[in-house]
Amino acid sequence: MESSRIPIKAIVSLFCSYMLLSHITTLSPTLALEDCEFPAIFNFGDSNSDTGGLAASLLPPPPPYGETYFHMPVGRFSDGRLIIDFLAKSLGHPFLSAYLDSLGTNFSYGANFATASSTIRLPDNIIPAGGFSPFYLNIQYMQFMQLKSRSQLIRHRGGIFASLMPKEEYFSKALYTFDIGQNDLGEGFFGNLTVQEVNASVPDIISGLSANIKKIYDLGARSFWIHNTGPIGCLPYILANFPAQTDEAGCAKSYNEVAQHFNQKLKEATVQLRKDLPLAAITYVDVYSVKYSLFKEPQKYGFELPLVACWVWWQVQL
Ligand SMILES: *[C@@H]1O[C@H](CO)[C@@H](O)[C@H](O)[C@H]1NC(C)=O
Ligand SMILES: *[C@@H]1O[C@H](CO)[C@@H](O)[C@H](O)[C@H]1NC(C)=O
Ligand SMILES: *[C@@H]1O[C@H](CO)[C@@H](O)[C@H](O)[C@H]1NC(C)=O
Cβ–Cβ under 8 Å, residues 210 and 266: no
Q: Which residue has its alpha carbon closest to ligand 3 atom 10?
A: 199
131 phi, psi to nearest 5 deg: -105, 0
What are residue 43's DSSP bridge partners? 112, 177
283 phi, psi to nearest 5 deg: -110, 125
Q: Which residue has its alpha carbon closest to ligand 2 atom 11?
A: 191
Amino acid 298 reads P
- What pLDDT shows up at residue 59? 87
pTM of the model: 0.90
Count other C-beta atoms under 10 Å from residue 149's C-beta.
9
pLDDT per residue as tens, the chain (318 positions): 333 344 455 455 555 544 444 433 333 334 444 456 899 999 999 999 999 999 999 989 988 899 999 999 999 999 999 999 999 999 999 999 999 999 999 999 999 999 999 999 999 999 989 999 999 999 999 999 999 999 999 999 999 999 999 999 999 999 999 999 999 999 999 999 999 999 999 999 999 999 999 999 999 999 999 999 999 999 999 999 999 999 999 999 999 999 999 999 999 999 999 999 999 999 999 999 999 999 999 999 999 999 988 765 555 544
Cβ–Cβ under 8 Å, residues 205 and 123: no
Nearest to 202 by CA among 269, 157, 250, 151: 269
- What pLDDT shows up at residue 314? 55
Pocket residues for ligand 1 (CB within 6 Å)? 94, 106, 108-109, 160, 163-164
Pocket residues for ligand 2 (CB within 6 Å)? 191-192
Question: Kind and range of the H or E element at 55?
Answer: helix 53-57
Q: For the chain, what is the radius of gyration of the CA atoms? A: 19
- The preferred substitution site among 126, 192, 198 for testing ligand 2, maximizing ligand atoms within 8 Å of CB, is 192
Nearest to 206 by CA among 175, 176, 184: 184
How big is the chain, counted in residues? Answer: 318
The ligand 1 atom at the shortest distance from the C-alpha of residue 93 is 5
Count other C-beta atoms under 10 Å from residue 146's C-beta.
11
Q: Which residue has its alpha carbon closest to ligand 2 atom 7?
A: 192
Nearest to 180 by CA among 125, 228, 138: 228
Task: Report the CATH fold assignment for 8-317.
Answer: Rossmann fold (3.40.50)
